[in-house]
């Protein structure tokens, strides 16, 4: 608004001492006074807002500086951390490669033990089934004997 008011005042100065322009000059003077009064009246509130804005900017700027410092430190420290991870990976890979033959040997050994357990269990089941078969034969033989005894008894009682 000040720029607009300055533009109007410069146009009025160029117009010279024309009587018609005196009314416009007077109105421009009143508008300039009202604008000046409004600016002076609003100065404390605008100053307070500006100071508050500066505090926010300072806080944000400090946070940005802190983050920048942390980022710079991270950029400095990360290559060393990556190198430590790389060394650790190499060491763990070496240990894993050393353990692979042992794991393979233990796997074969475990397979043999499982096979032996399975064979032993199958042998026990075979022996148990053989026992059941023997018992079944004796039971069948007893049935035949009873059947023969009852047939012989029936023949002896029939004349």
CA angle centred on 30, ends 33 and 40, rounded to 5°: 15
DSSP label of 1: -
What proportion of the chain, given as a percentage, has pLDDT over 90?
56
| Spatial contact of 30 and 63, defined as CB atoms under 8 Å apart | no
Residue 35 is predicted with a pLDDT of 85
Residue 24 is predicted with a pLDDT of 80
| Spatial contact of 25 and 37, defined as CB atoms under 8 Å apart | no
| Spatial contact of 5 and 28, defined as CB atoms under 8 Å apart | yes
- Average the pLDDT over 99-127 and give the result: 94
How would residue 62 be classed by pLDDT, with cut points 50, 70 and 90?
very high
| Spatial contact of 31 and 5, defined as CB atoms under 8 Å apart | yes
Distance set, CA 98 to CA 8, 62, 101, 104 (Å): 92, 53, 7, 11
- CB atoms closer than 10 angstroms to residue 118: 10
Question: 74-89 pLDDT, tens per residue?
Answer: 888 888 889 999 999 9
CA angle centred on 15, ends 5 and 6, rounded to 5°: 15
How would residue 159 be classed by pLDDT, with cut points 50, 70 and 90?
low
């Amino acid at each position: 608004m000040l720029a607009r008011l300055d533009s109007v005042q410069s146009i009025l100065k160029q117009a010279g001492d024309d009587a018609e322009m005196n009314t416009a000059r007077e109105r421009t003077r009143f508008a300039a006074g009202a604008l000046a009064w409004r600016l002076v009246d609003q100065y404390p509130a605008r100053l307070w807002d500006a100071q508050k804005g500066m505090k926010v900017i300072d806080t944000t700027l400090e946070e940005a500086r802190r983050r920048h410092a942390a980022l710079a430190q991270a950029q400095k420290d990360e290559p060393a951390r990556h190198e430590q991870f790389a060394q650790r990976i190499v060491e763990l890979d070496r240990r894993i490669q050393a353990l692979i033959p042992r794991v393979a040997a233990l796997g074969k050994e475990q397979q043999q033990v499982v096979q032996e357990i399975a064979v032993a269990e199958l042998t026990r089941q075979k022996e148990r089934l053989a026992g059941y078969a023997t018992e079944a034969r004796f039971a069948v033989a007893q049935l035949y004997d009873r059947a023969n005894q009852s047939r012989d008894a029936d023949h002896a009682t029939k004349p």
